[in-house]
Structure 1
Amino acid sequence: MSNITVAVLAPNGFSDALGKKGTTSDITFYNLKRGESTVTFIEPTRYPEKLSSLFYTISLADRVILVVDEITATFGETVLMLQCAGKAHGYIIFRNYLSPDQIAPLIKGTVLEHYETIENDPVGLREKLLDAAAKMTAHQKAKEGGNGGTLPIDHHFNVKGVGVVVLGCVTHGVIKKHDSLKVLPTAKTAQVRSIQKHDDDAETAVTGDRAGLALKGIEADDLDRGYVLTNDQAIKCSSVVTGRAQLIKYWPAPLKEEMVIYLGHWMQFLPARLTKVTAEGDWRMPELTFTLEKELVYPPGARMVLHYLEGGKLRVVGTFTLP
């Protein structure tokens, strides 16, 4: 079975025509299946009220569907988030008589410049994405093994007769039934009792899969969104991180110490106090040190999105890359 996850950045409910509605919270999942191919659609249900809703949706995605029916500050913020998250594969649907030339100046030099313009045809779009998922199989299997698997948790709950179940997308590697996984940033471990992918039992979950894991050895109260299940020894946790930032070209002034910036990585959207700023030359590319109350979980070389929730209409700051 192969899966691709698609962020649907459109009016809420657009995905009703694309898949069957599943888990709903500040992000809403829709599922589509044909044979061994599956597509997971995600909508940012609480955006623009909650910027985290947009970040989570985009962070999880392999591809993007962007519906443009008006040019607003929200559209601009979405473009900035996609650029900072590096989401290079996507489709644009124009409505309300808008055309590509009207947004061309706004997306020039961004990842959206290479998105494919498509018709507002749900049937055709479903087929296009299922075909793309089918072609992922060989690529995914080539990634199996390696240094173990990693799954950030986006939802968790108790199921009667099953126990603790977590939902998430495998970022890399493979997770197998009966694996013992660290539950980061805690010191706990949990064993995989069983795996489901789109309601089918499975022995493994590999890179790109959306999976439900039934766990033993841990309680639901021990878990939270953003926690990471992994047996990859390279994954780190820290409450102090230092790295290089690149601020967006629209950001008006240098960042200052004591600002509270939200770090977005995987399913984490954590407040962090800026404790040191070193800018030699270009102030848009400073070295930053952040201190967090809750430990950040990340692999070496992780790239994150910086958010400033007090920024009014400009809440996306730029990117932050760790060594």
Structure 2
Amino acid sequence: MLSSDVRFEGFTATDWVRVLSLFRPRRADAPEAGRPRGGVVAVHAGGRLRKLMHTDAGRLRIDDAQRAAPRTAEELAARHHASWAAVIEAGALEAIVERFGARIRRGDDFIAQSLLLLQLAREEVLAGKIDVWPARLRGVPMPSPGVVRGTLESLAGVGKTMVIGLFEGGELWTSVAMRRDARGINLILGPDEVRKDMGLLAGDWRRDYRHLSRAIEERAGELSLGCFAEAETIRKLEVDPSPGAWARAVAVRDVILAPVPAALAIPLGIDAGRAALSALRAIAERIDPMGIVGPAMRAMLERAGTDSEMAAMLPFHPLELLRKLISRER
């Protein structure tokens, strides 16, 4: 997935914090104040508690917890008012590492290694040696390396770039562009390098995203996928459990995909005709600065919008997987 000479460019400390904040677990409809925070990890052996640690408070007293040690991770989280918990049998992590070392091969890439490690960890969970709560990924099948590589290939071919750009208050809030070569992702480009190349902005992100696309293409190459929206819109969509939320957002242009590969158009409920119309409109907007053709193309796209279910392209629903990982719903 990542090439051996991958470069990270154009990120300030603020940009990194903003990117990471998008993946902070949160509830869709509950205030953050007063909620459980941090995680707690318990290690046991021979029926006795050996280690107890909270990610916020640090080490906890074992003597106090030994008298009525929780049996499950859910009980452990409730007792220490934590948002997640893990109960691990002593030696389970060492077993994962040893089996990983025995099964890994010299030619395995980052994807194969990551999936192998996840599979070994899941085996320990199924054996009852590791208990994690909440089990957000319960029931999600493990994809094969071929499926993951095929998905990446369909989203970004060799020499192509993917970008996500988020706006707030009429300005570029943050962006991440990833360029792929034959060995994997070889460039991860942040917003600090492209803000000055975007020129004078109109203050309307639905227009300004084109300036970001142009700046990215000049620095990283042709785009295969572009996703643009306001930061708050993406935060809400990440934890929205309603079916078709992403497809509706694309249909009403709360999220703009330009360009959009067929592999993403199909699961979002955008048929081939709509994807073609979207591409035509993008071309029309570039050659029609007066905006004569744009409104007609927009009307055609609104009539063509659909809200279908995720197509079974993968053994799991990728947008639902994102919601499970980030949402605090149990």
Larger fraction in strand: 1
User: Where is the helix percentage greater, Structure 1 or Structure 2?
Assistant: 2
TM-score, reference length from structure 2: 0.27
Q: Larger relative contact order (C-alpha < 8 A, sep ≥ 6)?
A: 2
TM value normalised by structure 1: 0.28
